[in-house]
Amino acid sequence: MGSAKTLNLLAVAHSYQAQGKGVLILKPKLDTRFGAESVKSRSGLEKQADFLVERDTRIPAKSLKDIYCILVDEAQFLESDFVDYLQSLARDCDIPVICYGLRTDFKTHLFEGSKRLLELADAIEEIKSTCQYCNRKAVFNMRLIDGVATKEGAQVQLGAEESYLPVCSGCYATAFSGSLSKEDIKSLNPEA
């Protein structure tokens, strides 16, 4: 959260397109936070997704013509079967596939899509973000309900800064040990 993953994706898309090279932008169908087909950065930049994907989505061969790169937003929400399909596109069609997403959920467990991407990826690059509470590297996303950290609820609950904060492992542990009060968390996140 807050590491500019989607902003990076949009910048890569712009770079390819500025060179006259085609790109395809994909996103999971379940991600409707900014509109069903919109891939939008918190900075305000936005593009329409070319495909909304589910487990059995397949890109028609004609859509791959003159494509130099496939970009995937919110890759953590992909199902492992679709990640396998993306790997086959990269290998068999010689088209780079770049996926942007979170590694773990608010309980610090891998998402299905992230797990499979970690297993198959040729390379992994981390986009760094800082902890909401201190200046260390954020490695987890802490879910908030009414401004209070929680480990309860479904793995997938769409939201942004009102629902999730990027935190380091120390602040994550502190939030659940009782060392950070509700007031501390609310004061550090006034929009909650």
* Active centre residues (catalytic): 74
Half-sphere exposure of 58 (CA within 13 A, CB side): 5
Non-local (6+) Cβ contacts of 135 within 8 A are: none
165 close to 86: Cβ distance less than 8 angstroms: no
With b for 16 or more beta-carbon neighbours within 10 A and e for fewer, the 46-77 pattern comes to ebebbbebeeebebeeeeeeebebbbbbbbbb
CA nearest neighbour of 157 among 167, 140, 148, 144: 144
Determine the residue type at 92.
D
Alpha-helix residue ranges (DSSP H) falling in 26-181: 80-93, 112-120, 169-177
Instruction: Give the relative orientation of helices 80-93 and 112-120 as an angle to the nearest 10 degrees.
Output: 30
